[in-house]
Amino acid sequence: MDAQAAFDPIRAVASEVVSEEELKVLCARAAKGERPKAYIGFEPSGTAHIGWMVCTETVKRLTAAGFEVVIFLADWHAQINGKLGGDLANIQRCGKYMEEAFEALGVPRSSVTYVYANAFAKDPTYWALVIQVMGKTTLARMRRAMTIMGRGEDEGDGDMAKFLYPAMQVADIFHMGIDLAYGGLDQRHAHMLARDVAHGLNRKAPTALHTPLVPGLKAQGGRMDPVEVKMSKSDPDSGIFIHDSPEDIARKLKGAHCPAKEIEGNPVLDLVRLVVWPRLLALGGSFSISRPEKFGGNKAYTDFAALSADFAAGALHPMDLKNGTAAALAKLLEPVRTYFAAHPDNWQFIQALRKTR
């Protein structure tokens, strides 16, 4: 694969790259077989939702381009953030479930490396690096970066440990020698902090790649902050989980916000664009709408612009879009349901843990 052929698919899924020229250089290195190092970090904190499909698609494109990809399971970070009651053993068990979720979503274990933060916690040079990062920034900057945890800027005031979190995330990047830091747009503050302090620490500034956030089904955003309306686990009916049955998917989409003729801030259309469309080949190459002849009959779309235009013109009813989206997601998630039917232990542990809290 040449450098341009490596660059184009990666750039196509990103909302932002800082900077494109840097990414082109990394792709050129990958094309020469040098294996630049990319990473994405996750807190092990519960059941995966379909927003993960944006991440797994990007990871697959990075590995196909020749990058070495690390999936960083931030167990200590999740503990600081109070996830799963702050119980490190439960968080690490959730990490094993997350490894399986990636595999179920089409990322072979052989194509990536899984690293747990707990391995760094035993290394004094890592903690020295955390302190060095903190010495190169300000409390105000750390406070602004609190949003990478899904927290408000003032939430560290009652829990000083939370101020460690952004510095740890930056130290993770330097400690692993990362060339490309990847995450959703909600991780931008941490990646920009890493770039800002790199020179002062004589460290390599990571190229930053950010993909869009899948909105919750009830989001009525328009031009609202995508971080604020992103899909999450906090409202089960506003998110579609990778384990959901076809019936659950259809029920949730039936109640989704999907105003007729509105394109901007429409979470169902965003879901189709971000999750379904990159996997169109798995759906036979088209997005299908099934409806009676009196309502226009069946329709198959191979171009997202055409789908959006029909919806904007009122030629496609919101319920038809919801039904088509539900059918597509049910098909795309069928391999996930099959995988976890054969590997149920860790997922069932997480489910049981949630019921006790």
Q: Evaluate whether 11 touches 180 at the Cβ level (below 8 Å).
A: no
Task: Determine the pLDDT at residue 357.
Answer: 56
Task: Determine the pLDDT at residue 193.
Answer: 94
Helix (H, G, I), strand (E, B) or coil at 280: helix
Task: Determine the pLDDT at residue 77.
Answer: 92
Q: Is the pLDDT score of 157 beyond 70?
A: no
Q: Grade residue 230 by pLDDT with cuts at 50, 70 and 90.
A: confident
Q: Is the pLDDT score of 96 beyond 70?
A: yes
Residue 352: what residue type?
Answer: A
Q: Grade residue 138 by pLDDT with cuts at 50, 70 and 90.
A: confident
Task: Determine the pLDDT at residue 238.
Answer: 82
Name the nearest CA neighbour of 267 among 310, 305, 322.
322
Q: Which token pair is 10?
A: 């990666």
Q: Which token pair is 44?
A: 């092990």
Element containing residue 94 per DSSP (H, E): helix 88-104
167-170 contacts: CB < 8 A, separation 24 or more? 167/130, 167/131, 167/133, 167/134, 167/137, 167/142, 168/76, 168/77, 168/80, 168/117, 168/130, 169/41, 169/74, 169/77, 169/194, 170/133, 170/194, 170/197
Task: Determine the pLDDT at residue 160.
Answer: 75
Task: Determine the pLDDT at residue 149.
Answer: 57
pLDDT tens digits, one per residue of 310-328: 999 999 999 999 999 999 9
Q: Which domains does the chain have, with CATH numbers?
A: 3-211 (3.40.50.620), 245-332 (1.10.240.10)
Q: Is the pLDDT score of 195 beyond 70?
A: yes
Q: How many residues does the chain have?
A: 357
Q: Which token pair is 293?
A: 């002849």
Q: Evaluate whether 30 touches 67 at the Cβ level (below 8 Å).
A: yes
